[in-house]
Amino acid sequence: MSARDDVRRAAVVLTDRGEVLFSPIELIAQARKSGCAYPDSTLRTHIVNYRCINAGGASAGMYPDLVRVSRGLIGSSTARAPSALPRARPPKSPQFGSPEFCGRPERDRT
| Measured distance CA(2)–CA(67) in Å, rounded | 20
Where are the strands (E) in the chain, listed by range? 21-22, 66-70, 73-76
pTM of the model: 0.65
* pLDDT at residue 80 is higher than 50: no
Q: Rounded mean pLDDT of the chain?
A: 77
Q: What 3-state class would DSSP assign to 22?
A: strand
The per-residue pLDDT for range 14-45, each reduced to its tens digit, is: 888 888 899 999 999 999 999 999 999 999 98
More confidently predicted of 66 and 95: 66
Q: Where do the structural domains in the chain lie, given as residue ranges?
A: 3-84
Residue closest to 90 by CA, chosen among 65, 75, 71, 103: 71
Residue closest to 2 by CA, chosen among 31, 25, 23, 30: 31
Mean pLDDT on 85-101: 55
